Structure 1
Amino acid sequence: MGYRTFMPLFLPKTTRKYTTQQANNNRFITALRFVVENVNGRLKQWRFFDKVVQNSSLKFVHGYLSIVASLINAYRPSFINDTSHDEELAKAFFERKDMINDLEKNLEDKDIMKARQWLKYDAAQACPDFPILTEEKLREFTLGVFQVKQARSYTVEHLDLDGEYEIRVRKEDKQLLRVNLQSKHSARKNYHILIKYNDETGTGACCQCSVGSRTVGTCSHATSVIWYLGIARHEPDKYLTTRSSKYLELFEDANHYSSESPDDDNTLYTLAD
């Protein structure tokens, strides 16, 4: 058929992260694979397909699959609605494929990473010259939407009780930033992230996580830092109100709710956004 097949490289147990080239190659694969995974996810929403199919049912699988696929095609929205930027996206992938992540050496340099080399700030007031971004502009840098969707949850978890976002600025280079984020998958893991920015070359990022050295897009940790500095801190009421505070507001409103309301039986309850 002329097809060439690829699969992501597995990380050896003796290695903590992929090289830049390995991480870039993996990103090429996962960027194309998501459509297949989304199709499988939709199929598995049907009870018959969300479990192992018994041998006795194999003769019916083709017919069932045809019916389900027809229903999905008829009544569900398409996975990809806008293809107008596909060529630009593909070009950006190939342009960055062989790029070197210049920040990786800094991240591995123990002298540079020593605490005395950095000044601690609340990021809400730090780096006033950091470029203001739109989500579309951020997606051009991340080359994907998943990392942008994850940015808010990582950011909210990094905020302290006073709503401050701790960031460190290098003494010798005010446009080199360092943030320490906790992994969402393990409370014992923390990742150092370096962000480099200026008006001419845009933004560069490197993270200690397994895919943090790639130049084809960025990991979720680095994306969350850029998202906070370039977008969220400029509109905190829109982006940084935690879901828990919304639930507390619901409880406070409940104190004033009358159980004798004549319309109680007609009330529809929904989860808060």
Structure 2
Amino acid sequence: MENMNELIQPGDVLIVDRGFMDVSEMLDDLGIQAEMPKILPKGQKQFTTEEADASRLVTKIRWVVESINGRLKQWKYLQNVVSNTQIPYIGDNVKLIGALCNKYKPPFSTGEKDNDQNLGCKNEGTVQEKNDLQERVAREGLHRRICSWKKIDADDSLPCFPMLSEEDLRNITVGVYQFKLAKSYTQEHLNDESEFTIMINSDLANI
């Protein structure tokens, strides 16, 4: 750990998960900047917009690491706990598995540096944007207003809702991270009949 600073360049930021919380102070003492997803303080019901955006940015960056880990764990050797007897060999074995993945698996990166750079800038930009909807809800007291909601279906859709292409959705969600989670998000909201219920309210304009 004492030699870690030799691996860190000025301006580097370590993106870590919550398991590093216990060593966060030590990293600070070493002058190493580390970012991890936020943890909701006790008694606080939800993150502020700024906290949620910052935490989401860290998660998006870590998603790349978790994707790589997931690919490595497709190999039986790394699927379960590795025995201590493998300690002398595990480094070389992981390198070998990584080389095979690089050779025969499709790359995670598009290889388009400019697009990746633009995506990173867009991610940073969204963190600094204010939440206009939240401000309107608070300003007009909409969270305390009793409204009439109705369920819609294909025959009773929203005529004013924009038709979005896959490219539009990728731009809105800033990459593929939310796309990958969309299936599990949808399943969480299915009812017992496997229906996805959408409720609308037409009393409030532009919401």
> Is TM > 0.5 for Structure 1 vs Structure 2?
yes
Residue equivalent to 1:169: 201
What is the rounded CA distance, in whole Å, between the counterparts of 1:51 and 1:152 in structure 2?
26
Q: Answer yes or no: is the 8 Å Cα contact 1:8–1:26 preserved in 2.
A: yes
Aligned: 1:140 with 2:149: no
Greater displacement, 56-65 / 86-95: 86-95
* Gap regions ≥5 residues in structure 1: 177-273
What's the offset of the Cα at 1:133? 0.5
Count of residue correspondences? 175
Say which structure is richer in strand.
1
What's the offset of the Cα at 1:101? 0.7
Q: Answer yes or no: is the 8 Å Cα contact 2:119–2:175 preserved in 1.
A: no
AA aligned to 1:65 is: V
Q: Answer yes or no: is the 8 Å Cα contact 1:9–1:26 preserved in 2.
A: yes
Aligned: 1:120 with 2:150: yes
Aligned: 1:32 with 2:64: no
Determine helix, strand or coil for the equivalent of 1:42. helix
What is the rounded CA distance, in whole Å, between the counterparts of 2:194 and 2:63 in structure 1?
38
What is the rounded CA distance, in whole Å, between the counterparts of 1:69 and 1:118 in structure 2?
55
* Gap regions ≥5 residues in structure 2: 1-7, 15-34
What is the rounded CA distance, in whole Å, between the counterparts of 1:89 and 1:59 in structure 2?
40
What is the rounded CA distance, in whole Å, between the counterparts of 1:155 and 1:65 in structure 2?
35
Residue equivalent to 2:126: 96
What's the offset of the Cα at 1:108? 5.6
What's the offset of the Cα at 1:109? 7.5
What is the rounded CA distance, in whole Å, between the counterparts of 2:123 and 2:176 in structure 1?
14
What's the offset of the Cα at 1:59? 1.0
What is the rounded CA distance, in whole Å, between the counterparts of 1:7 and 1:116 in structure 2?
38
* Residues 26/57 of structure 1: CA separation in 2 closer, same or farther (3 Å cut): same
Residue equivalent to 1:41: 70
Correspondent of 1:15 among 41, 44, 61? 44
Q: Answer yes or no: is the 8 Å Cα contact 2:60–2:177 preserved in 1.
A: no
What's the offset of the Cα at 1:128? 0.7
CA RMSD of aligned residues (A): 3.0
What is the rounded CA distance, in whole Å, between the counterparts of 1:161 and 1:57 in structure 2?
49
Q: Answer yes or no: is the 8 Å Cα contact 1:21–1:97 preserved in 2.
A: yes
Q: Answer yes or no: is the 8 Å Cα contact 2:150–2:199 preserved in 1.
A: yes
What is the rounded CA distance, in whole Å, between the counterparts of 2:196 and 2:85 in structure 1?
59
Determine helix, strand or coil for the equivalent of 1:38. helix
Determine helix, strand or coil for the equivalent of 1:14. coil
Q: Answer yes or no: is the 8 Å Cα contact 1:117–1:171 preserved in 2.
A: yes
Greater displacement, 85-94 / 159-168: 159-168
Determine helix, strand or coil for the equivalent of 2:201. strand
- Sequence identity, in percent? 31
Determine helix, strand or coil for the equivalent of 1:64. helix
- TM-score normalised per structure 2: 0.69
Q: Answer yes or no: is the 8 Å Cα contact 1:123–1:167 preserved in 2.
A: no
Residue equivalent to 1:69: 98
Say which structure is richer in helix.
2
AA aligned to 1:100 is: K
Determine helix, strand or coil for the equivalent of 2:93. helix
What's the offset of the Cα at 1:77? 1.3
AA aligned to 2:120 is: A
Higher relative contact order (CA 8 A, sep 6+): 1
* Residues 41/161 of structure 1: CA separation in 2 closer, same or farther (3 Å cut): closer
- TM-score normalised per structure 1: 0.54
Correspondent of 1:4 among 13, 16, 19? 13
